Amino acid sequence: MGANLPASLLVPQPAVIVGRTQESPSIFTMKLCLEDAAAQSAYRHSLGQFNMLYLPGVGEVPISIMSDPDDRQAIGHTIRTVGRVTNRLAELQVGDRIGLRGPFGRGWPMEAMQGRDVVVITGGLGCAPVVAVIHYILRRRGDFGHLTIIQGVKKAEDLIWREQYAQWNTQPDTHVMVAADEGGTLWPWHVGRVTDLFDRISMQPDKAMAVMCGPEGMMVVSAKMLTERGLPEENIFLSMERNMHCAVGHCGHCQFGGSFICKDGPVFSWPQVKGLIAHRGF
Amino acid sequence: MNASFSPARFLDFSGLDTLIQAIRSAGYRCMGPAIENDALVLRELTGARELPRGMQAEQAPGQFKLTHDAENRYFAWANGPQAIKPYVFAPRESLWQVRRDEKGSLKFESFTPQPEKTALIGVRACDLAALTLQDAHFLEGQYSDSSYAIRRKSLFMVAMQCAEPAATCFCASTGDGPTPQSGYDLSLAELPDGFVVAAGSEPGQKVLSMLDLNEATPEQIQSTKEQGEAAARRQTRSLPARDLRPLLMNNLEHARWDEVAARCLACGNCTAVCPTCFCHAALDEPDAAAGKSLHVRQWDSCFNEGHAYLHGHNVRPDTRTRYRQWLTHKLATWHEQYGRSGCVGCGRCITWCPAGIDLTEEVAAMAKGS
């Protein structure tokens, strides 16, 4: 028998919005605090896990946890308004209340990454799961080796947190590379494909780890290019997304081959997904 | 027959009603086979006279036709569209209800199902095997589902050996039938003059001890054994192997997927009648007038449009990828999840497919062309 589902994972807990930042026209960050103070102080997550956010009368949506695991004050989520639930969540303000179930899933192997060079690869409109990794490393800079951040976007204006990328690039032992297929005036970064940047990655391949999040096609190409440059396949990790309703491995929506992304992931090592990820439809 | 309980007994036909009354007196509502809308369904049974004795069902791809059994047996049919699954994995289950109090705080309330104690009369080996698979999914993973667990505990299984497999049956090839091996409270096998009955659990033993029955003779037990073997031999369909991972996963871009997709209506009937399919969707039902909202789950299907919807795009936008998802999950990736195939050979997906798609034929075509 499996363990009985704890109440905090079975039924949402009431949470209050204690902070809200509009990051771009379609992306916002909200900080949540569980209304039950004891539940809030007992709440623990590991980097890369997600919560189910619930808006009564509308529904639930899985959202990656953005805040630092050591932050006991609030639970942060950066959300892109792309669907029915996220559009309604975007209308809420500080003081409004929603429900929260979680945390769920398996996160990034942060302990295994200690002392190693880290390559962070992300694409599209900015990817919260890996941005949380970047924040985590920069807050504990001495615990990790060289940090390379690679971000690809279609158009220059798609890059959110633009100042943040520039600021990260000034951090010790940190190299930021951004590529836009279409640049623009005052675009300081590379114009072209994100894959053009891989030869400029500084890493000791046998002592490095890569974390990726973004469009699956981009991750497939990136994994291939990293392994060609000597990075062992099992040192490449990525965060996967699929439809999710229950978050505990029962509803079947997030199946990816034999894996349930909600409980076996969302973070996987490259060898776990490489067989199916290139086939459209899984 | 289970060795840890008393030896098998013999129940003549006139004793069948006594057995049903004994189960009822043990506190169970009996659900047994009945004819409704030209199909065999489970309905409440108050006595043996209500059983559809002498009915048989002819099954073929896309066909279920009631016929008459020349030998006038009670259980001469293989199975109807549903058996155990709806009684453990409810088609619809309320999960929680939420309302806002005067301060705007959310008040959540969860639900606990309170199922009636129910005996299912005449369940088949394939369905008991499927129940084991549903148990593995809902109870034995990281988390156990409490609604399923409560419903599961409310059941009393009266299994029936299959003597007349349908043309769509292939449980012998999956190793799941036609004779029930475990998972029952009582197991029956029908002979020309009565039933051989064995207990498989304490509650089953208790019911059996309420009846004054003679031990079954070695000849009667031998007859049920031969009947099971004959039923297995008569099955015309089969799968080429128990583990089809190499065949299916090495043929993900096989032309047969396009071919079957052209015939498949993506209606999801196969998933609704499949005794192992477990997908369900969660949805919110707001009641604005009452200031509350109900969160429920209900059966879903990987053939439904929204099943693989992911913010702004659909991971499986066409029938080809949906059929491939269903078949590769059922016969291949299920092994990674639960250590065996997700198919128990009941053949329902063949019978109840309006297009008559036969998974054994699809697998055979794939094997031939690879």
Residues B193 and B335 in one domain: no
Provide the shortest C-alpha distance from residue B72 to chain A (in Å): 43
Residues B143 and B253 in one domain: no
The answer to whether position B44 is within a domain reads: yes
Provide the shortest C-alpha distance from residue A175 to chain B (in Å): 31
Read off the pLDDT band of B142 (50, 70, 90): confident
Whether the CB-CB separation of B112 and B148 falls below 8 Å is answered with: no
Q: Is B102 exposed, middle or buried (0-12, 13-18, 19+ CB in 10 A)?
A: exposed
The answer to whether position B240 is within a domain reads: no
User: B303 at the A interface (CB within 8 A)?
Assistant: no
User: B330 at the A interface (CB within 8 A)?
Assistant: no
Residues B224 and B261 in one domain: no
The separation between CA A66 and the C-alpha centre of its own chain, rounded to angstroms, equals: 7
Q: Which residues of chain A from 110 to 139 reach within 8 Å of chain B, CB to CB?
A: none
Distance CA A162, CA A148 (A): 16
Residues B220 and B253 in one domain: no
Q: What is the DSSP string of B264-298?
A: -----HHHHH-SS---EEEEEEEETTTTEEEEEEE
Provide the shortest C-alpha distance from residue A182 to chain B (in Å): 23
User: B252 at the A interface (CB within 8 A)?
Assistant: yes
Residues B168 and B67 in one domain: yes
Query: Across all residues in chain B, what is the average pLDDT?
Result: 95
**Nearest to residue A76, comparing CAs of A131, A4, A156, A19?**
A19
> Quick count: other Cβ atoms within 10 Å of Cβ B140?
13
Residues B209 and B333 in one domain: no
In this predicted structure, the answer to whether residue B369 has a pLDDT above a threshold of 70 is no
Whether the CB-CB separation of A82 and A243 falls below 8 Å is answered with: no
Which residue carries 């633009």 as its tokens? A162
Q: Which CATH superfamily is domain A7-104 in?
A: Translation factors (2.40.30.10)
> Quick count: other Cβ atoms within 10 Å of Cβ B185?
24
Query: Across all residues in chain A, what is the average pLDDT?
Result: 93
Whether the CB-CB separation of A57 and B99 falls below 8 Å is answered with: no
- Mean pLDDT for B23-31 is 98
Residues B38 and B68 in one domain: yes
In this predicted structure, the answer to whether residue B159 has a pLDDT above a threshold of 80 is yes
Least reliable range by pLDDT among B155-159, B274-278, B309-313: B309-313
The last residue of a domain, from among B208, B233, B258: B233
The complex scores an ipTM of 0.94
Sequence-distant contacts of B66-74: CB under 8 A, at least 24 apart:
B66/B35, B66/B38, B66/B39, B66/B40, B69/B164, B71/B192, B73/B163, B73/B164, B73/B190, B74/B13, B74/B16, B74/B48, B74/B190
In this predicted structure, the answer to whether residue B370 has a pLDDT above a threshold of 70 is no
Residues B207 and B251 in one domain: no
- Mean pLDDT for A199-222 is 93
Distance CA B319, CA B48 (A): 45
- Mean pLDDT for B227-247 is 96
Read off the pLDDT band of A126 (50, 70, 90): low
User: B139 at the A interface (CB within 8 A)?
Assistant: yes
In this predicted structure, the answer to whether residue B337 has a pLDDT above a threshold of 70 is yes
> Which strand ranges, in their side-by-side order, compose the sheet holding A13-24?
A59-64, A50-55, A97-104, A13-24, A27-34, A75-80
Tokens standing for residue B83: 């058996």
What pTM was estimated for this model as a whole?
0.95
In this predicted structure, the answer to whether residue A162 has a pLDDT above a threshold of 90 is no
Read off the pLDDT band of A163 (50, 70, 90): confident
Provide the shortest C-alpha distance from residue B281 to chain A (in Å): 6
Question: Which residue range forms the structural domain that includes residue B222?
Answer: 9-233
Distance CA B79, CA B64 (A): 10
Q: Chain A contacts of B108, Cβ < 8 Å?
A: 11-14, 99
B4-23 pLDDT, tens digit per residue, is 788 999 999 999 999 999 99
The last residue of a domain, from among B200, B233, B266: B233
Residues B336 and B211 in one domain: no
**A1, B337: Cβ pair inside 8 Å?**
no
User: A25 at the B interface (CB within 8 A)?
Assistant: no
Would you state the pLDDT for residue B1? 45
Would you state the pLDDT for residue A1? 63
Judge: domain A110-277, CATH 3.40.50.80: yes
In this predicted structure, the answer to whether residue B326 has a pLDDT above a threshold of 90 is yes
- For residue A83, the 8-state DSSP code is S
Percent of chain B with pLDDT over 90: 93
Provide the shortest C-alpha distance from residue A174 to chain B (in Å): 32
**Nearest to residue B80, comparing CAs of B138, B26, B36?**
B36
Q: What are phi and psi of B275, to 5 degrees?
A: -75, -5
Distance CA B306, CA B246 (A): 29
Strand B143-144 vs strand A3-4: parallel, antiparallel, or unpaired?
Answer: parallel
- Mean pLDDT for B312-323 is 95
Least reliable range by pLDDT among B70-74, B196-200, B286-290: B286-290
Residues B294 and B324 in one domain: yes
Q: How many folded domains does chain B comprise?
A: 2
Would you state the pLDDT for residue B3? 52
Q: Which residue has the higher pLDDT, A165 or B360?
A: B360
A33-83 pLDDT, tens digit per residue, is 999 999 999 999 999 999 999 999 999 999 999 999 999 999 999 999 988
B71-113 pLDDT, tens digit per residue, is 999 999 999 999 999 999 999 999 999 999 888 899 999 999 9
The answer to whether position B36 is within a domain reads: yes
- For residue A192, the 8-state DSSP code is S
Read off the pLDDT band of A230 (50, 70, 90): very high
Whether the CB-CB separation of B112 and B146 falls below 8 Å is answered with: yes
CA separation, residue A19 to residues A28, A38, A80, A97, B276 (Å)? 10, 20, 16, 12, 45
**B311, A246: Cβ pair inside 8 Å?**
no
**B106, A56: Cβ pair inside 8 Å?**
yes
Residues B167 and B293 in one domain: no
Residues B55 and B154 in one domain: yes
- Mean pLDDT for A136-140 is 96
Q: Which residues of chain B from 211 to 250 reach within 8 Å of chain A, CB to CB?
A: 249
**B286, A2: Cβ pair inside 8 Å?**
no
Q: Which residues contact A275 (CB under 8 A, 6 or more apart)?
A: A257, B249
**B312, A83: Cβ pair inside 8 Å?**
yes
Would you state the pLDDT for residue A7? 78
- For residue A214, the 8-state DSSP code is S
Whether the CB-CB separation of A52 and A31 falls below 8 Å is answered with: no
Whether the CB-CB separation of B9 and B196 falls below 8 Å is answered with: yes
Distance CA B146, CA A107 (A): 26
Q: Which residues of chain B from 74 to 113 reach within 8 Å of chain A, CB to CB?
A: 95-96, 98, 100, 104-108, 110
Provide the shortest C-alpha distance from residue B146 to chain A (in Å): 7
User: B282 at the A interface (CB within 8 A)?
Assistant: yes
Identity of the residue in A10, A82, A255 whose CB atom sits nearest the CB atom of B329: A255
> Quick count: other Cβ atoms within 10 Å of Cβ A271?
12
Read off the pLDDT band of B2 (50, 70, 90): very low
A168-196 pLDDT, tens digit per residue, is 999 999 999 999 988 887 888 999 988 88
Would you state the pLDDT for residue B103? 86
Domain ranges of chain A: 7-104, 110-277
User: B286 at the A interface (CB within 8 A)?
Assistant: yes
Mapped onto helix, strand or coil, the DSSP state of residue B42 is strand
- Mean pLDDT for B64-70 is 96
Distance CA B159, CA B224 (A): 14
Whether the CB-CB separation of B11 and B198 falls below 8 Å is answered with: no
User: H or E stretch including B87?
Assistant: helix B85-88
User: B262 at the A interface (CB within 8 A)?
Assistant: no
Would you state the pLDDT for residue A184? 82
Read off the pLDDT band of A222 (50, 70, 90): very high
Whether the CB-CB separation of B180 and B349 falls below 8 Å is answered with: no
